[in-house]
Amino acid sequence: MNSFTGFSAPRADRYFEDYQAGAVYEFPETALVSEEDIIRFAKEFDSQYFHIDPVAAAHSVYKGLIASGGHTVALAFRLYIRNFLPEKASLGSPGMDEVRWLKPVRPADALRIRATIIETRPSQSKNDRGSVRTFVETINQQHEVVMIFTITNIMARHP
């Protein structure tokens, strides 16, 4: 198993060919989650009381304010896109599977990701691109995996 902290090519020069099944990336970049960020995101998208009201949240099953699951997905996307995906060669994603929120994300958590490439496949119908399927773990500062998902990305092949 090949383990890396980054790619040799910068995002702008990365293509489908730079992604190899079995490679594991642990990027040092973290996403810091503040109470203010949690409440702001939740007021716009997920106004459940345990995401917006610290006092009421203290009496919930979570015993304190936690980030919306949508917020944790968005933060993982930020780390995944900035560190893993190619720039020009990224052609979008058809979907993701098995999203699991395993542990609450709380104010002052620092999240990072580990990305394991499961499979790469040249397109059958379009010979200028391929798809890359990746298992993404989101990990907090206590080394606990707080969320997992598997995502597929379409990428242009090297011209």
| Residues 149 and 6 sit within 8 Å (Cβ to Cβ) | no
| Residues 46 and 39 sit within 8 Å (Cβ to Cβ) | no
Q: Distance (Å, rounded) from C-alpha 39 to C-alpha 43?
A: 6
Q: Rounded to the nearest whole angstrom, what is the least distance from the CB of residue 56 to its own copies in the complex? A: 10
* Residue list 46-105, contact with its own copies (CB under 8 A): 46-50, 61-62, 68-71, 73-75, 77-78, 81-82, 85, 87-88, 90-101
118 near its own copies, rule: CB under 8 A: no
Q: Distance (Å, rounded) from C-alpha 106 to C-alpha 99?
A: 19
27 near its own copies, rule: CB under 8 A: no
Q: Distance (Å, rounded) from C-alpha 30 to C-alpha 138?
A: 10
Nearer to its own copies, 3 or 62 (CB): 62
Number of residues counted as binding its own copies (CB under 8 A): 36
| Residues 154 and 131 sit within 8 Å (Cβ to Cβ) | yes
**Interface with its own copies (CB under 8 A):** 41, 44-50, 61-62, 68-71, 73-75, 77-78, 81-82, 85, 87-88, 90-101
